[in-house]
């Protein structure tokens, strides 16, 4: 078992180093202020997000992009709150913005995919942009997408997401975890093995979406509107699935407010991993889980048999060093470095958390937006 642990650790370290190298290979995009040309349909599915919608809509209202070149499609997914009050007030304050409120047409087991489909079928423009109701977008968000489309000719663009700053152990734990995922996402694009993205900040070509039959093939899975679509596009157009590495394209979102919600979120994310089509994505998931499992095995073994301390120390130190390099690199890009001082205590708790949520995801149902989704 010792040798297996060391082999897994070597594979893990090599994988994270590959992500660190890949992160550097993705070029940082600067705003060149080119003339706006492309037209965007911004799609925002929401369910009981009345408290978040004002912040998102305000950020969209000050976007530095001609209002005639984008539309806002809000898709109500059976909300039971006071969302209409906020939307009506926003419309009165911004009468020149092209905003439409749609009702989700449910057809599958995936409410969010249904909502996006509903909006795409009614959209007027060539490029689909998706974000979430609890997000805030940057003022040059669409300008960077426009520039990237003109320069790179993509069909699918993944862009960065970060958490809005809070000050609690729960936040810093989530933030370090989320930052590691964003760093791995960027690293994957850099080594030509894109395997993750985030639906809070995506842009894709509508014609290509229809050409590949959209979400067909994974509508039985509640989440995954982002990764499953990216996998489809990457299989057919591997050179046209790209990451927009720009500080001015970052979208901010909120971390979960309780440990229960955070764990439930992680179970939801882990539950869809078995349905990934990408062999590389599955490999990454298995290696990450096994590495954390081996850390737990070695620390327990070291408590029982002192000779194991040397092996635990080697494996754990190698892990936290390469993890820190990737997380720190990503934190500086996202301008979200305050959580780094909590890195060491979080790194001690992290293997327990990963193994716990990974095991739960194998059999536990999860709740999302007030709905229960069964395994």
Tens-digit pLDDT string for the chain (375 aa) = 777 888 999 999 999 999 999 999 999 999 999 999 999 999 999 999 999 999 999 999 999 999 999 999 999 999 999 999 999 999 999 999 999 999 999 988 889 999 999 999 999 999 999 999 999 999 999 999 999 999 999 999 999 999 999 989 999 999 999 999 999 999 999 999 999 999 999 999 999 999 999 998 887 777 778 999 999 999 999 999 999 999 999 999 999 999 988 988 888 877 777 678 788 999 999 999 999 999 999 999 999 888 889 989 999 999 999 999 999 999 999 999 999 999 999 999 999 999 988 888 777 666 666 666 665
Where are the domains positioned within the chain?
A: 2-22+278-367, 27-255
Range 27-255 classified under CATH 2.40.50.320: no
d(CA 302, CA 312): 7
Neighbours of 167 (CB within 10 A): 8
Q: What is the pLDDT of residue 241?
A: 97
Global pTM exceeds 0.75: yes
Neighbours of 27 (CB within 10 A): 11
- What are the two backbone dihedrals, phi and then psi, of residue 117, each rounded to the nearest 5 degrees? -60, -45
Residue 83 has which token pair?
């969302």
Cα 50 to its chain centre, rounded Å, is: 22
Q: What is the pLDDT of residue 373?
A: 61
| Three-state SS sequence of 184-195 | HHHHHHHCCCCC
Q: List C-alpha distances in Å: 76 to 61, 111, 117, 133, 201.
A: 19, 10, 13, 11, 19
């Amino acid at each position: 078992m010792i040798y297996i642990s060391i082999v897994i650790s070597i594979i893990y370290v090599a994988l994270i180093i590959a992500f660190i190298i890949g992160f550097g290979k993705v070029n940082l995009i600067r705003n060149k202020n080119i003339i706006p040309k492309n037209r965007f349909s911004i799609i925002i599915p929401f369910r009981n997000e009345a408290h978040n919608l004002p912040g998102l809509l305000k950020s969209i209202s000050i976007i530095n992009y001609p209002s005639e070149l984008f539309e806002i499609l809000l898709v109500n997914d059976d909300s039971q709150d006071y969302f209409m009050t906020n939307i009506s007030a926003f419309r009165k304050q911004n009468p020149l913005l092209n905003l439409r409120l749609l009702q989700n047409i449910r057809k599958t087991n995936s409410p969010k995919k249904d909502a996006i489909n509903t909006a795409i079928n009614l959209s007027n423009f060539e490029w689909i942009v998706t974000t979430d109701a609890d997000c805030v977008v940057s003022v040059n968000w669409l300008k960077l997408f426009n520039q990237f489309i003109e320069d790179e000719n993509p069909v699918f663009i993944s862009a960065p997401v970060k958490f809005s700053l809070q000050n609690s152990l729960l936040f810093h734990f989530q933030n370090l975890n989320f930052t590691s995922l964003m760093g791995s996402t960027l690293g994957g694009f850099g080594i030509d093995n894109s395997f993750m993205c985030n639906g809070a900040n995506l842009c894709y070509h509508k014609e290509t979406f229809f050409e590949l039959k959209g979400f067909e093939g994974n509508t039985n899975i509640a989440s995954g509107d982002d990764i499953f679509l990216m996998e489809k596009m990457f299989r057919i157009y591997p050179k046209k699935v790209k990451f927009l590495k720009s500080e001015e394209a970052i979208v901010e979102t909120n971390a979960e407010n309780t440990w229960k919600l955070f764990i439930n979120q992680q179970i939801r994310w882990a539950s869809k991993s078995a349905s990934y089509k990408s062999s590389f994505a599955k490999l990454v998931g298995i290696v990450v889980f096994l590495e954390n499992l081996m850390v737990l095995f070695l620390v327990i073994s070291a408590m029982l048999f002192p000779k194991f301390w040397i092996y635990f120390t080697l494996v754990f130190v190698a892990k936290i060093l390469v993890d820190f390099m990737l997380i720190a690199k990503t934190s500086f890009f996202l301008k979200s470095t305050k959580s780094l001082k909590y890195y060491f205590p979080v790194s001690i708790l992290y293997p327990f958390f990963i193994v716990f949520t990974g095991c739960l995801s194998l059999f536990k149902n999860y709740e999302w937006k007030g709905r229960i989704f069964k395994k």
